[in-house]
Structure 1
Amino acid sequence: MQSSNYFSEVRHKRYAEVSVKKFLIIWLLIITLLSGCSTQASYSGVHEEPVSETVFAMDTVMQLTAYGAEAVVMDEAKKRILELEGLLSTTNTDSEVYGINQKKSGRVSPDTASLIQAGIKYGDITNGLLDVTVYPLVREWGFTTNNYRVPDKDSISRLLKNIDYKKIRFNKAEASVSLPDGMMMDFGSLAKGYAGDAVLKIFSDAGIKSAMVNLGGNVQTLGKKPDGSCWRVGIKNPEGENYIGTVLIDGRTVITSGGYERYFKDDNGKVYWHIFDPVTGYPAKAGLISVSVVTDTGIYGEALSTSLFIMGIKEASEFWRKHRDFEAVFISEKGSVYVTEGLRDNFSFSEDYSGHTLTVIEQ
């Protein structure tokens, strides 16, 4: 049983998270729009005006900005996000995923089918650290109900028996899926990245050359800025409200997973965050408090940021050396900052952290 003060702290924390997110979105938008990495010529010589829309979905404030977009295109993008939320929510009783979790079988839409396949694919790539069947465990800890608690070891052991993405039975030809009793799927570790990819496709299909979407801190870009320069994306300080540095990107994606994003404290002040190790059943504690991944697609970035956080810096570095199809910024619990070699010239500390030492992970 948690104390009433404890619950007040959690409620206050969640309210503050929404306010801070709104502030950070506005702040980040200003940085990305006004700063660049070069003074190259613009694409066409014409500086089109930015068109922005805000939508609240997937428990996140999302900011969509596209240069030269027509209102109908922005409306289509917003509808697409809301459509995906309606399909993928684990708590909305009308959603497709909710229905599958309850019935343990059924036919699925193309979007849900794509995410099931992605969950299996990235589960294999990360050796099971990205597991889309972790939902019962997350729920047991209270992260879906806000009724936070530390489960007893027996409860965790029982739930771990049904956490294994390899037990998902997906029939691609029939677009159907079945789950063992006790298993549930949750695409929270992939959905925002998938949604971002979908929005950028809408923009690209409409002929838009320059766009940026910020899905609760996940920043995805299309092309360069209208003046031909790179986008400058802030990396949040996990222990403060400012940013520790910036990354320069050109039509790529920056996805961040951090323990600071959502957590609770027990009566003794111990912190438990929302990123779980599917092997132990407990919040991941491998020495990292933030991982930002730079990739070509949002869904891959989502999968990697979660998995690398669980791995810790040593294993994550080896994973990067093996795959070399992404770059990353790691911040440790001790405050050390590491970047992979491809970001050596594209990461810089903010003025407040200019005295920090940067460690470059090399091949």
Structure 2
Amino acid sequence: MNINIKKKNNCIGAAFLVLEVSAVMLTGCTSTEIMNTSTIFAMDTVMELEIRGDESLLSDAEQKIREIENTLSVTKDSSDIGVLNTKKKAKFSSQAGQILSEAISTCEMTGGSLDISIYPVLKEWGFTTGEYRVPDDDELEALIKNVDYKKIDVKKISDGSYEVSISDDMQIDLGSVVKGYTGSYLADYFKENGVSSGLINLGGNVECIGNKPDGAPWRVAIKSPFSDSKSGVLGVLEASDTAVITSGGYERFFEKDGEIYWHILDPKTGKPAKNGIVSVTVVGNNGLMCDGLSTALFVKGTEGAIEFIKEHAAGSRNNEGFGAILITEDKKVYVTDNIAASFSLSAEYSDCEVSEINIK
């Protein structure tokens, strides 16, 4: 398959670029057509759920979110992850084991640019505790010796659960994929129970169910990663029945001696990934994969991310396809051609250069 990159001027001014999560009522609609909403705090983020359907489904959804959090939270000693990180062996529930297995597959797909065993390095930087520090090279060298997703042993057993083990110096964290998984999981649950329109916003992880109640696509704002932005919005993506997941250095960072250190670390160095990219958005049907890829593409940097996109974005027998938006530190934007027609820049960024990545 011959794939190339073609540059074009696609800077479209957009007058109304917001993430539309407010409740919507259509004139003349029945009560079941009212958009019911719920806001909860879980997985260390504010979550907003909005559905056109039975309001009781929101309570069910909150319970499902809590169950996933209690099972996979790295900060809960009693969770499957907590037990594994402490005892180095644990029995995972069927759902947790499936999530872990798919996360490992995504690590493998990305050649280790995503590695769920980097948790001890994140802790050393203070990104899990808020007690920020810059580890020296010797500390990082010692820690990254134990970062290797290939050493996580996962076995499915007869009752549908999983036996998982790791080496004595390892710890894992599924925070890089769990919100993406949760978004798709909730979307499937809602659709199975008659929801035809909805929006799940899990703190930067957005899952669209169908279209808006008026039939138009959802308009999902892509946050500007630049601190001098006046509007805070780089552009908008029109989306239907898909996950839209963004990772950026602006999400969690600290500054020391005039240098910014962000939480997206390169597993090979243990240091913040600074390869030219400042934001990655991945769009697709598999929220877990999109969540993991948004981190991995950030780590790969501009050239590596584009090369990966060329090879994988169209999809294959083993991997689902996806779209992507890459934003570089010099304010260049790269968009895959399978979502380019649905993406436009805000007026603030109308003079930028957009490069279209051809994945056909």
TM category, shorter: 0.7 to 0.9
User: Counterpart of 1:100?
Assistant: 84
- Asked if 1:212 is matched to 2:199, the reply is yes
User: Counterpart of 1:198?
Assistant: 185
State how far apart, in whole Å, the 1-side matches of 2:31 and 2:350 are: 36
Q: What residue identity is the alignment partner of 1:265?
A: E
User: Counterpart of 2:14?
Assistant: none
- Asked if 1:124 is matched to 2:108, the reply is yes
State how far apart, in whole Å, the 1-side matches of 2:274 and 2:22 are: 32
- Write 1 or 2 for the structure with the bigger share of helix: 1
User: Counterpart of 1:252?
Assistant: 242
Q: What residue identity is the alignment partner of 1:333?
A: E
Secondary structure, aligned partner of 2:334: strand
- Asked if 1:340 is matched to 2:336, the reply is yes
Deviations 1:252-279 (A, max 9, x none): 111000000000111x111110001101
Asked if the contact 1:47/1:227 (under 8 Å) is kept, the reply is no
5 Å-filtered alignment, 1:1-363, equals 28-30=19-21, 48-67=33-52, 69-173=53-157, 175-239=162-226, 240=229, 242-266=232-256, 268-323=257-312, 324=314, 325-363=321-359
Q: What residue identity is the alignment partner of 1:142?
A: G
Asked if the contact 1:33/1:231 (under 8 Å) is kept, the reply is no
Asked if the contact 1:32/1:233 (under 8 Å) is kept, the reply is no
- Matched-pair identity in %: 41
Asked if the contact 1:253/1:294 (under 8 Å) is kept, the reply is yes
When normalised by structure 2's length, the TM-score is: 0.87
Asked if the contact 1:119/1:165 (under 8 Å) is kept, the reply is no
1:104/1:348 Cα in 2 relative to 1: closer, same or farther (>3 Å)?
same
Deviations 1:17-47 (A, max 9, x none): xxxxxxxxxx52358979xxxxxxxxx9998
1:238/1:96 Cα in 2 relative to 1: closer, same or farther (>3 Å)?
same
Q: What residue identity is the alignment partner of 1:263?
A: F
1:130/1:33 Cα in 2 relative to 1: closer, same or farther (>3 Å)?
farther
Structure 1 position 307, deviation (Å)? 0.4
Deviations 1:222-257 (A, max 9, x none): 112222221111101111362011011111111000
State how far apart, in whole Å, the 1-side matches of 2:275 and 2:299 are: 6
Structure 1 position 353, deviation (Å)? 2.0
Asked if the contact 1:52/1:65 (under 8 Å) is kept, the reply is yes
Q: What residue identity is the alignment partner of 2:323?
A: E
Asked if the contact 1:80/1:198 (under 8 Å) is kept, the reply is no
State how far apart, in whole Å, the 1-side matches of 2:194 and 2:283 are: 24
Deviations 1:154-195 (A, max 9, x none): 111111111101001111126111110110110010010111
Which runs of structure 1 show a deviation greater than 4 angstroms over 4 or more consecutive aligned residues? 30-34, 44-47
Structure 1 position 356, deviation (Å)? 2.2
User: Counterpart of 1:4?
Assistant: none
State how far apart, in whole Å, the 2-side matches of 1:139 and 1:102 are: 15
Greater RCO (Cα-Cα under 8 Å, separation 6 or more): 2
Asked if the contact 1:284/1:309 (under 8 Å) is kept, the reply is yes
Q: What residue identity is the alignment partner of 1:167?
A: K
Secondary structure, aligned partner of 1:261: coil
Structure 1 position 354, deviation (Å)? 2.1
State how far apart, in whole Å, the 1-side matches of 2:55 and 2:215 are: 24
Q: What residue identity is the alignment partner of 1:258?
A: G
Count of paired positions? 326
Moved more, 49-58 or 197-206: 197-206
Deviations 1:51-84 (A, max 9, x none): 00011011100000101x2232110101111111
Asked if the contact 2:23/2:37 (under 8 Å) is kept, the reply is no
User: Counterpart of 1:9?
Assistant: none
State how far apart, in whole Å, the 2-side matches of 1:102 and 1:357 are: 49
State how far apart, in whole Å, the 2-side matches of 1:47 and 1:327 are: 33
Secondary structure, aligned partner of 2:341: coil
User: Counterpart of 1:12?
Assistant: none
